[in-house]
Amino acid sequence: MSSLDVSRGVCALVPGLQHWLENAFYSVRIVDAQSPRERDDRRILLATEIGHATHRDILINMVDGKPSLVPAANGLPARVAFGLEDMGFAFALIAELARPAAVPAVGDNASTRLMTLAGRVARSDATVLIQGDTGTGKEGMARFLHAQSGRVTRDFIAVNCAALPETMMEAMLFGHKKGSFTGAANASEGLFLAADGGTLFLDEIAELPLALQAKLLRALQEGEVLPVGATHPVPVNVRIVAACNRNLAAEVAAGRFREDLYWRLNVMPLELRPLAERPGDVTAIAAAMLLRMSDVAKDAFVWPTAAALEKLTAHVWPGNARELGNVLQRAVVLRDGDRIEPADLHITGAPQLRIVEQVLAPADPIRLSPTSLRDVAHHSKLEAVRAALRETDGHRAAAAAKLGISERTLRYRLAEMRELAA
């Protein structure tokens, strides 16, 4: 977990920021702006506290009108200015500006708990199996495991097993001797030896042929590989992180994956849920992606409006983060104004469909009309508001930040709830 200092002045001005940062996998410490600090400490300060800031810090300012981001440059810290309407996205943006490169973007409490577990797993040398749909961030999790491990000073090698030519898989993984097959003009150490002392990430592990699975099992069990054409095995010290977008246990049951290899890989299982089940991450990932897509150095960071952010968090994202990235990139390029509006987000599919599926029992024969579909979606939003208020002990700013909406939008929702209760 990354540590981050927040000044008392910031906490007084925007009390919901601490809650967001804690959900974003930060250990937050409240400090006085002028208190002594370590050289590498990073702090979030008010713009008026710039006299106590270093170039590593982030200054925030509450303003009326358009939000802005000025990146760190010429020894000056980064500056983020925003109003109540844009507070939800601004919190996510601040978290992403401070986030270390090897830590995935998260903003959902459940994701933070998973990251905490992954941090504990990383400190061991145990083999890890990451399962989740395509686009849920399996490689990002693998890189985090490597960065948090004792192998961080050695190489992280990532290979997509589905992209390896089947005739070359063995040689590419385990290496080969010169002349061991047609075209082998030179010897090659292979990916296992390239990752010696570090981490080898085997993505799409289910795509390995059964014959090669047996050789992989031996490499894991014995800590050695036999290059193609060699007569003596070569010792190797590699930590394996495997990933699969299919249920590997089901692949075993179907006879497509070796059961003994499955149990050898499944020492420390980590399950990444679909993006639709972690709405807090949508805002965090959107902030991270927009930072990469926008030319921040030229003061051209593109902010989404609160309404656009609400549209993003309402969608079910069947393509997960990859779909989100496509939608945001189109919006950045094709937007009509200087901000991303809801109309700029060309999202296909009906976001209410997943909500209806969750509310209705599988055997429920009721057929809903379009009017009742809207009612179900509306009811679901109000239930989300109630849950957020319970989890934040009634703190409106924190609840709005958790939901990824502005406080003004939250006030509208609360007014609707009061009218329904009257």
* Total of domains in the chain: 3
Mean pLDDT to the nearest integer, 58-82: 91
Does 311 map to a domain? no
pLDDT of the residue at 421: 52
Q: Are strands 2-7 and 43-46 parallel, antiparallel or unpaired?
A: parallel
Residue 12: CB atoms within 10 Å: 9
Which has more pLDDT, 162 or 396? 162
Please, are residues 70 and 57 in contact by the beta-carbon 8 Å criterion?
Answer: no
- Taking 80 as the threshold, does the pLDDT of residue 229 lie above it? no
User: Last residue of some domain: 248, 266, 295?
Assistant: 295
pLDDT of the residue at 115: 92
Query: Length of the chain, please?
Result: 422
Report CA 303 to chain centroid distance, whole Å.
20
| CATH number for position 203 | 3.40.50.300
Q: Please tell me the pTM assigned to this model.
A: 0.77
> Are 373 and 248 part of one and the same domain?
no
> Are 154 and 181 part of one and the same domain?
yes
pLDDT of the residue at 49: 92
Q: What is the pLDDT of residues 129-174, one digit of tens each?
A: 999 988 899 999 999 999 999 999 999 999 998 887 776 777 888 8
pLDDT of the residue at 280: 87
Residue 11 lies in domain: 2-106+276-295
Confidence of residue 73 (pLDDT cuts 50, 70, 90): confident
> Are 358 and 384 part of one and the same domain?
yes
User: Last residue of some domain: 262, 295, 328?
Assistant: 295
Q: What is the pLDDT of residues 358-376, one digit of tens each?
A: 333 333 333 333 444 345 4
Which has more pLDDT, 182 or 217? 217
- Taking 90 as the threshold, does the pLDDT of residue 422 lie above it? no
- Taking 60 as the threshold, does the pLDDT of residue 356 lie above it? no
Handedness of CA 356, 360, 365, 371 (dihedral sign): negative
Handedness of CA 199, 202, 203, 206 (dihedral sign): negative
> Are 120 and 242 part of one and the same domain?
yes
Q: Could you tell me which of 305, 279, 314 has the C-alpha nearest to residue 388?
A: 279
Please, are residues 25 and 62 in contact by the beta-carbon 8 Å criterion?
Answer: no
